[in-house]
Structure 1
Amino acid sequence: MTVRYPQSRLSQLLGATLLVSLATGLTSPAANAAPATDSPAGATTATVGGPLATAFDRAAARYDVPRDLLVAVGYAETHLDGHDGAPSASNGYGVMHLASNPKLRTLDEAAALTGLAPVTLRTDPAANVTGAAAVLRSYADRAGLTAAQRADPGHWYTTVVRYGGASTPAVARLYADTVYDLLGTGFQTTTGGGPVRVAPRPVAPERGALAAVAPLGTGDGVGIMSTDYGPAAWAPAHAENYTVSSRESTYPINYVVIHVAQGSYAGTVSWFQNPAAGVSAHYTIRSSDGAVTQSVREKDIAYHAGNWTYNTQSIGIEHEGYVNQPSWFTDAMYRSSAALTRHLCDRYGIPKDRSHIIGHNQVPGATHTDPGPNWNWTYYMQLVTGSTPPPSWSVTIDNSTAGAFTASANWGTSAYSAQRHGTDYRFADPAEASDPAWYRANIPTTASYRVEAWYPDDPGYNSSAPYVIVTPSGNQTVHVDQRSGGGAWRNLGTFTLAAGDGNKVGVSRWTGGAGLVIADAIRITRV
């Protein structure tokens, strides 16, 4: 059994352009993760209807940019949400985050390359996608990519790096690797411009000089890991974005301030490294897995609260995402952030209450609204204090459960195996087609859940049946050999599932494995 974990989306806040030597008309409300099938190696993504998907198709064809790469860049940047033309913290716009700041000017480049007015590029999603495709193609041309190389997404790695604008090699790799991880795992989202899908496929990015750079937080070199908080990677902010101090000798540390970055993990870290930013935070938390990066030492004063007194007396924690997009606030993020806050409170004697663990909006004189109405303060404080264990909850969904299982007529019904769960089970031939069987559940709250599968085994059943788990940060696929291990609950892993009623687990026919694909029963349990 193989479990693939997508990493988080990437840079919404950007940084200075990486040195060349390292490289040689619709609205779009919050994009929510939706069911997607998985596909075998080399499969081509079929267009899912809708104006945003059409915009990606047309822009990719016009500028000879791999369509799925273009979508992955946009999804990593914004979850394909243009935020009604409002800028990010680093003055980036639209689903593709075309930026206009002192260090990165992809918006201005897009205007010059397409002839479209900046206001159109900022506010019209189709134009925004077109502009990004034009910029990426111009970078590919400067890198000398031939037509044959342009057809292979693996050759675009350094082009993606340049688009992200990271200022250090480790953050540059973090940015581009996120895009390629999304290509590898695949995803499908539902946006105000319709559904958009990228099928999973093998990826082999050509990293060039960055191949020798250890991914952020994994190296053994000095300065890679935080010396303040063991689980955190270390990527220092620019010296102009914070004040060196000797807290707590100079100032007491009395508060933890919770922020939402209005951007992505890699982009936030990169923006803090940009001297034009004028802002920083001590820590940033990733949505998909709760990874942590420290940018300012705890003894020093980060510029995060917009109030000097609170800056001097607080630790600031940024969280990847946007205030108006609850899909970014995963259980992994809550738990990781709460563990960090608990550590800080214990270290500095900060009371674990809402008078001392506050939102940016609670800072006197604050003009910001983060973390906003989608942040679950009750759950977060329970995690910080350890006062309330997660409530127990479990549901079993059989293929015969009324209203909770759907499959097309291509899925047959059988009671052949005595290992079945219930009276029967469903089966289908593998096919390169978007034709999954779906299990629907009403999840009580966004949290971590164990997902288990029940199936009968048989030598004629599939050697690599794809189970697709729908999470707020993208779909995750687990391949199961259904020739063995049947007649019992088989653990597929623990995943963050979003609250609400909808398709949560699917069994896809799109597999390179041989044999019938079986869909019998699923069990989901809160952990």
Structure 2
Amino acid sequence: MQSRLSRRTAAAIAATTLLTGLATAAPAHAAPADQQRQREFAAAASEFGVPLGVLLGVSYLESRWDSHHGTPSTAAGYGPMHLTDLRAAGGGRSHHDEGAEDPRGDDARGPLHPNPPAPAAPPPGVQTIDDAAALTHVDAATLRTDPAANIRGGAALLARYQRELGVRGGNPADWYGAVARYSGADGTAAARAFADEVFDTITAGTSRTTDDGQRVDLAATPGLTPARAQLGTLGLRADAPPAPECPKRVACESVPAPYQELPGGGYGNHDVADRPNDQKIDHIVIHDTEGYWDSVLKLAQDPAYVSWHYTIRSADGLIAQHVPAKDVAWHAGNWYLNAKSVGVEHEGFAAKGAWYTEAMYRASAKLVGYLARKYDVPLDRAHIIGHDNVPGTTPATIKDMHWDPGPYWDWSHYFDLLGAPLDGVGRPGSPLVTINPDFATNQPAFTGCEGAGKPCPARGSEAVVLHSEPSDTAPLLRDAGLHPDGSPSTMDVADVGSRVATGQRYVVAETRGDWTAIWYLGQKGWFRNRHGDTAEPAFGFAVTPKPGLASVPVYGRAYPEASAYPSTVPPQDLVPLPYTFAAGQRYSSGGVVGSEYFSATTFDPAQHVVVRGELRYVQIQFGHRIAYVKADDVRLSPVW
């Protein structure tokens, strides 16, 4: 419990820093083993003449001072100082090309499978690890894996950038230009946003315990006024046209996705609509790109490809908007969710040994918070969802649905930055719980990150694995959609058939000692919950079949009844998913929704029609993915 409180305190400080800039932290103290990282920062700052606050602030915005055990970030950066090594990180391709998922997910349009591009190499750019190696006389492999060496390398780079600016002195305010250059941004807007975030952190101060148990403190420096005029001396490209739908204090460019007719009568790569006037936006879907920034942006501008609304760059948090929020992008593999969501891609990889930078988390939280306020999207895990939480549309499509951003996306930290912490607020003993393990210490033994069957590196995760009995050796649960042959789910990193995610809510089915069972895909799923360290009491609403019904069908979309369709629009089939929601089971509700179908099969938006029916549905957290049940089939009741 004490460690949990510690984590919550650190998270609260980080969120306050982002949202108000008023957090403070105690000054650093020397001594115990868990402050070795603090001493390494102090030593490197002294050796290279970098103000300690500047060195700590830059590292915090890159890695939050974590070592990440020598694995690369989604921008090919390593260690606390995020030294980039593009050779070592490898390449990738867009996740829209993996498997057989139809990104559009609309039966009426027919399957859409874009031609996959060749695997993309990391983007060209400066190998900062080479520069750091030359400055410190330490080889690249050591800089990637040794946190102390990595911190020295970052300090040496900052000192060199400062010398090249011709600025002397130890006043942190005079290091704005060096910090902006350290971001690696090629444009002034992104470099400015990165440097401003760093100096906000230095001004406010913060502290936390790293992924390897090191306590690091950044003392507050109130009244700091950075020398922002230095930005004009860096020779960066002028700002690109700003995107119209972004919050203040982020770098956000307009990189439009084309809407045009294609040979053969088709069109791409999104649909013109009039949201929220014609349809309410009620979900924001978090993706990762499975590719690097430059290649992914080229795909977003391909009229024959698919689309999403925004992409966020890892190194500095630069945002590119491609599709107006009023229009429907083809991103989530489920047409009902596409029509009612905004898709946000993050440069990165769900499993390829990579982690997401603090710069990207912060930019994303600002963007998603802005969109949630603008479109009245609840800040909870029923509405801010991953692509891995989007349901298949029919039994046949479930096995091909994507699973990004993967089990290493830190939902707890993300919601702290959104100002909506996921801490449970229910009374002890509540039958409704919020999944919320400690990200750093929760390390499931997944396989398949770097090859089928190979163990993934041990690292923090938001995922909790479920067993069929209260035992670590019991088989995992069965998912009739993912594994129609009846075999149990697996520990493959892409297999979401027997796992829950941080922030999701479930109804408790049974408890035995340290073990808790929840209702999940029609079964009891067991996980270890010693002293409530994995799931916390919550309150909300739960759904169960109405009296007299032995079971009710579960759907992947909330489509209208056939009689609601005009003669010009073929009715869409209401196809249940291959699961059982039986009497006596209960699932957490994500709210009651009306039935809608957006008919958009032609290039001419004048022929697009929104069909609304009398049917009403309840969104439920049925498994790892959300699902829908007809409101007439279930009873909705508060759970305290």
User: Which structure's CA Rg is the greater one?
Assistant: 2
TM-score for the superposition, normalised by structure 1: 0.47
Higher relative contact order (CA 8 A, sep 6+): 1
TM-score for the superposition, normalised by structure 2: 0.40
